[in-house]
């Protein structure tokens, strides 16, 4: 991939946006883990905890990039990423099990462990968008880290205010997933040899994923209203 090509910068933009759209959980975990510390230590916990978590994430992502060359793993990874794209829209995350640290080291350790445990979606999405380019992986994460550390709280507020951002994020993940699946070598070029088939497949995967998330949310809202109506009577 040419470093100055449209494809390179498009992939880089997808990686950065993916990091941001999936950063909400990270910000919540960081806040919960450092909440018991004195204010002067909270900033240190956030910085060092995030740097440690990102270090692990870079290594994990590069490992996944390598593993995606194994037969069928592009297909499996793509299908898993479609599920993640769907859950991004409909899942209500509960972080009640994240324990606050009473010391700086405890908080840093909690941030790193929690981030590593829940970072599979980010790792898989970034690896898929990079298409084997390790420079893209590292560069994308380096651009995203400062934004995640200092701007994630603002981004959470934006997502809460403009719900459509989550749907855009889901579409980007589904787009990445469909490209991963289409690049599966074992499929013998069945999906990426013809441009019409290739883009039609991507369009269908993105549309179905986002619609299913939207439909599930509408069903949840209807069920919640019905329950509230029954309780009021």
What number is the average pLDDT over the span 112-127? 73
Q: What is the DSSP string of 89-120?
A: HH-----TT-PPPSSHHHHHHHHHHHHHHHTH
CB 170 within 8 A of CB 88: yes
- Beta-strand ranges (E) seen in the chain are none
pLDDT at 87: 84
Domain regions of the chain by residue span: 6-232
Q: What is the pLDDT of residues 22-76, one digit of tens each?
A: 766 666 666 667 777 787 787 788 778 777 877 887 888 888 888 888 888 888 8
- Residue 201: pLDDT band with limits 50, 70, 90: very high
CB 195 within 8 A of CB 189: no
pLDDT at 165: 83
User: What SS3 state is found at 37?
Assistant: coil
Rounded CA separation 179/206 (Å): 11
pLDDT at 188: 81
185 DSSP assignment: G
164 DSSP assignment: H
Q: Is the dihedral of CA 46, 88, 166, 81 positive or negative?
A: positive
pLDDT at 208: 96
Q: What is the pLDDT of residues 92-104, one digit of tens each?
A: 555 555 566 678 8
Task: Say if residue 156 is exposed, middle or buried (CB neighbours under 10 Å; 0-12, 13-18, 19+).
Answer: middle
CB 172 within 8 A of CB 17: yes
User: Using CA atoms in the order 218, 220, 222, 227, what is the torsion angle rounded to 10 degrees?
Assistant: -170
């Amino acid at each position: 991939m040419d470093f100055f090509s449209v494809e390179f910068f498009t992939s880089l933009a997808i990686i950065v946006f993916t990091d941001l759209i999936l950063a909400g959980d990270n910000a919540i975990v960081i806040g919960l883990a450092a909440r018991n510390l004195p204010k002067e230590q909270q900033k240190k916990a956030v910085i060092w905890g995030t740097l440690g978590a990102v270090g692990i994430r870079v290594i994990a992502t590069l490992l996944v990039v390598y593993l995606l060359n194994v037969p069928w793993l592009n297909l499996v990874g793509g299908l898993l990423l479609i599920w993640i794209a769907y859950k991004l829209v409909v899942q209500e995350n509960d972080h009640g099990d994240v324990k606050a640290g009473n010391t700086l080291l405890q908080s840093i350790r909690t941030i790193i462990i929690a981030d590593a445990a829940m970072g599979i979606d980010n790792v898989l999405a970034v690896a898929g968008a990079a298409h084997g380019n390790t420079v893209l992986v590292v560069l994308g994460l380096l651009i995203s880290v400062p934004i995640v550390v200092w701007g994630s709280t603002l981004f959470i507020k934006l997502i809460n205010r403009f719900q459509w951002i989550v749907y855009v994020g889901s579409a980007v993940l589904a787009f990445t997933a469909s490209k991963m699946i289409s690049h599966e070598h074992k499929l013998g070029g069945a999906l990426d040899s013809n441009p019409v088939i290739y883009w039609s497949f991507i369009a269908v995967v993105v549309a179905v994923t986002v619609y299913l998330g939207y439909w599930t949310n509408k069903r949840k809202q209807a069920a919640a209203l019905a329950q509230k109506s029954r309780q009021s009577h």
